[in-house]
């Protein structure tokens, strides 16, 4: 199986790359910063997307993991924070970047065997988890969730399954040291979920620990 992972230079992305390689899969991991051994890809840059797709030279992709993401508005104050450039830069990576990656790799996905797209979103984008803070990140992850559900409909005739996933609150540079689970736990759970994704479950929003995540109804029980 050929697995492509965006944002594969650290955290969950690096963990997934290591685990799939250890399992014997062919892995193409990408990084924006030119990390040695990883394919260069700035998901927010259309030219970079085109160059990356061309570098695959028609190679089939069986699993595309859209993992690259940013959290730029942590700690911003409602009264004076959340500048427009933070909105633009966040959506460029977390939403547009996902779309451009799928769009540019569509020929490779169509050539894959039971191809799948896994979009790493977050429960912070769910209406049921609204907290009145982190407005940009939450809005971008909600948009990524919506995008994934729409893509699941658009790609069903191509027999490409799409799943959207909450990876847990993970101890990474983004998640911080106080998070609930480590990278290995998140990776193990996510891989099980990706393996289980089919056309029958396409459009799902699932957690790393095998739960369907509600995203519309507000609830205090989660």
DSSP code string of 174-193 = TT-TT-SB-HHHHHHHHHHH
Q: What's the rounded mean pLDDT across residues 3-30?
A: 96
- What is the rounded average pLDDT for all residues in the chain? 89
Domains of the chain, first to last:
2-207 (3.40.50.720)
Could you give phi then psi for residue 71, rounded to 5 degrees? -130, 90
- Say what the pLDDT of residue 222 is: 31
The answer, yes or no, to whether residue 32 has pLDDT greater than 50, is yes
- Say what the pLDDT of residue 74 is: 87
Beta pairing class for 116-120 and 26-31: unpaired
Which one, of 43, 65, 26, lies nearest residue 187 by Cα? 65
Alpha carbons within 13 A on the beta-carbon side of 94: 25
pTM above 0.75, yes or no: yes
The answer, yes or no, to whether residue 95 has pLDDT greater than 50, is yes
More confident residue, 187 or 214: 187
pLDDT tens digits, one per residue of 107-151: 999 999 999 999 999 877 566 666 666 889 999 999 999 999 999
> Residue 120, SS3?
strand
Q: How far apart are CA 154 and CA 160, in angstroms?
A: 9
């Amino acid at each position: 199986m050929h697995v492509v992972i965006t944002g594969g230079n650290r955290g969950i992305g690096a963990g997934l790359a290591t685990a799939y390689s250890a399992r014997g899969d062919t892995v193409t991991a990408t990084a924006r910063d030119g990390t040695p051994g990883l394919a260069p890809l700035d998901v927010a840059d259309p030219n970079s997307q085109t160059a990356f797709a061309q570098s695959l030279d028609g190679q089939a992709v069986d699993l595309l993991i859209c993992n690259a993401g940013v959290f730029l508005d942590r700690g911003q104050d409602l009264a004076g924070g959340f500048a427009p450039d933070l909105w633009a830069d966040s959506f460029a990576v977390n939403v547009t970047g996902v779309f451009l990656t799928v769009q540019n790799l569509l020929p490779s996905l169509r050539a894959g065997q039971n191809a799948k797209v896994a979009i790493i979103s977050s429960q912070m984008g769910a209406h049921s988890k609204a907290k009145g803070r982190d407005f940009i990140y939450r809005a971008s992850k909600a948009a990524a969730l919506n995008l994934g559900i729409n893509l699941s409909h658009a790609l069903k005739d191509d027999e490409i399954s799409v799943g959207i996933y909450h990876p847990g609150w993970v101890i990474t540079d983004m998640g911080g040291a106080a998070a609930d689970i480590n990278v290995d736990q998140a990776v193990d759970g996510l891989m099980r979920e990706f393996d289980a994704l089919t056309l029958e479950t396409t459009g799902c929003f699932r957690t790393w620990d095998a739960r369907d995540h509600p995203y519309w109804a507000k609830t205090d029980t989660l």
